Every structure is written in structure tokens, then in C-alpha cells.
Amino acid sequence: MQRDPEDLYELGEGWPDLEGVPLLHYLEGFMDAGAAGRLLTEHLLGSGEAETVVTFDVDRLIDYRSRRPTMIYSSDHWERYDRPELSVRLLHDTAGAPFLLLSGPEPDHEWDLFATAVQSVTERLGSGPVVGYQGIPMSVPHTRPLGVISHATRPELVTGDQRLPDRLQVPGSAAALIELQLGEAGRDALGFAVHVPHYLAQAVYPEAAISLLNAIGAVTGLKLDDDALRAAADRTTVEIDRQVADSTEVTELVSALERQYDALAEASSETGEDGGSNLLDGAEMPTADELAAQFERFLAEQQGRGDTPPER
């Protein structure tokens, strides 16, 4: 029996013209080193009034037993149930320009139909490019600029010089499937993955969220305020530097990563590449298999920790 993707969501009425408006998306539950994507999503939702445009049927998409929602018990009765929400909201940047944000838990079921439903939403709203974002663990030091990998459904949409080497076989995600299916349908979609120092992958790292915000702003033209993230990043950097200074082992690790980073940057600069930013092409960097294994380990660590969010 043919399943209708529009059965997966409810679209509100009376919305303004959203033709060409970018749709950002972040689905919590997959790889997100440094909580970069989650931090950016929370920052965007907290930066102004957000109006819900689309709601997805979480009862069909979410496995409640694998990610049990929070319930509040008070004295002698159940007081509140924090119902999961997977939705598209309408927000505005600092200049008043609209953009859409799809966020919530990554679906456990019906990925194909969900990705088709997202495509249906973009068509019905007339929205423009679809942009995903996340953090990935990488062998880089926190004392150097963070690289951001760009991927897209058309080569013309790819920005910057950061590339992953070769071909990677990694665990799939609903976000990746959205981009893949939009590309197969001839729609513009792209994604950003910020490099997070592997020793900070399980921490909350606002600097990575800022890098994602800047990358999204550059490609969409959105004017996104970063003041709150910047303040959090400054506080986090002070704490990281303190902890590094207190550990000889970590100090040596960071110093080794700095030497590797600087050597590869200098070598790339001598070959005439833009700013020597293509650091993933160096022979000393991880191979495709090593990167895939590193991503697998990160996901296993996330699952081992359960659903408890990182401390702020």
C-alpha cells in the first residue's frame, strides 16, 4: 500500500510568503561532537519569537522506550509530561529576514517516508535551500581555528576548502537521508560539519557552534547574532585552558596536535592552496577507515552514556 508522506505531518495555515526562505535542520540523537548542533539550535530558538509552522507525528516516528520522555511526579500525582516535539518553526534574523528551523529528536522509524515528508514540506512552503549542521570529532587542537566541512547536492553549493579524504562508510542518519533524497529530486541542500577536538567531543563546546553559525550565515545571507554563544565560548575556553594546564598528559597532546596542524598548514601554504586550510589531505591525518572508526567510537560512547544531556 502506498504511504502518503503528508500523513506524517500537519501544516498550519495563514503563513506569509516563504518562497526561497532557507530551512535549517538539526535532529538530536546522531553524532554531534561538542554538542555543536544542539547548542546552535538552542541559541537560534532562544534568540527571538519562534512560531510553529509544521508539526510531525512523533507517535509514529519516535521509539519512546529507547528515549523515554520526562514526566514529573509531585507528591501524590503525575503533574506533567514533556511530550517530544519534532517541528518546523519560523524565526527571523537580526535584520528581520525569515528562516525556518526543523528540530527535534531524530526519528526512530519510517526514515524514507520522513525524508520524503520533509521534501513535501519544502515544496508546499516554497522554501529555499535546506541546510543541516553538526559537530564531528577530529584530531585538531582547540588553540587553532576550527575547520568546517561542507557537502551539498551540487558541487557549486560546496563552500570552503575542507574535505574528508576518499570515500567513507559511516552510520547513516535521518539528516543525511534528507540531503540525499533532496539531491535525487534536484533540490538544493547542503550541510556543515565543524571539526571538534576529539578530546572535547563529549564536552559542550560553544566555539564549534559559532563556527557553524558563521558558515550558515555566509551561505544563506542570514544575519545571526552570536553574542550569547561568544560569551559562553569565552568562559569555556578559560576552563579548558585551566584543565589543560593542570594535566601534563593533555598539555603534551595539545602541543603535538598544534605542531601537526601548523606543519600541515605551512605545507599547504607553500603549495599555493588557500590559507593552507585543507588540512585533511596531509599524510599524517587519519585515513578514511580511521575516521570512520573514530565516528563509530564516538557514537558508541554517546549510546553508552544514555540520553543524559551534557552539563552546561
Q: Is the pLDDT of residue 213 over 70?
A: yes
Q: Could you say which of 3.40.50.300, 3.40.50.10900, 1.10.10.10, 3.40.50.150 is the CATH number of the domain covering 5-68+80-304?
A: 3.40.50.10900
Confidence at residue 306, expressed as pLDDT on a 0 to 100 scale: 46
Q: Which of 196, 254, 228, 202 is nearest to 94 (CA)?
A: 228
Q: Is the pLDDT of residue 307 over 50?
A: no
Q: Is the pLDDT of residue 309 over 50?
A: no
Residue 65 CA to its chain's centroid (Å): 24
Structural domain boundaries of the chain?
5-68+80-304
Distance separating alpha carbons of residues 53 and 23, to the nearest angstrom? 12
Alpha helices in 145-287 (DSSP H): 174-184, 206-220, 227-245, 248-270
Residue 310 CA to its chain's centroid (Å): 16
Confidence at residue 276, expressed as pLDDT on a 0 to 100 scale: 36
The strand pair at 148-152 and 130-138 is best described as unpaired
Query: What are the distances in angstroms from CA 136 to CA 157, 175, 186?
Result: 21, 14, 27
Q: Is the pLDDT of residue 294 over 60?
A: no
Compare 7 and 16 and report the one with higher pLDDT: 7
Q: Is the pLDDT of residue 167 over 80?
A: no
Confidence at residue 135, expressed as pLDDT on a 0 to 100 scale: 96
C-alpha cell at 56: 510531525
Confidence at residue 196, expressed as pLDDT on a 0 to 100 scale: 94
Confidence at residue 281, expressed as pLDDT on a 0 to 100 scale: 41
Q: Which long-range contacts (CB under 8 A, 24 or more apart) does 12-17 make?
A: 12/52, 12/53, 12/54, 15/53, 15/90, 15/125, 16/98, 17/126
Q: Is the pLDDT of residue 285 over 50?
A: no
Confidence at residue 165, expressed as pLDDT on a 0 to 100 scale: 64
Q: What is the mean pLDDT of the chain?
A: 87
**pLDDT band at residue 68, thresholds of 50, 70 and 90?**
very high
Compare 246 and 132 and report the one with higher pLDDT: 132
Distance separating alpha carbons of residues 303 and 301, to the nearest angstrom? 5
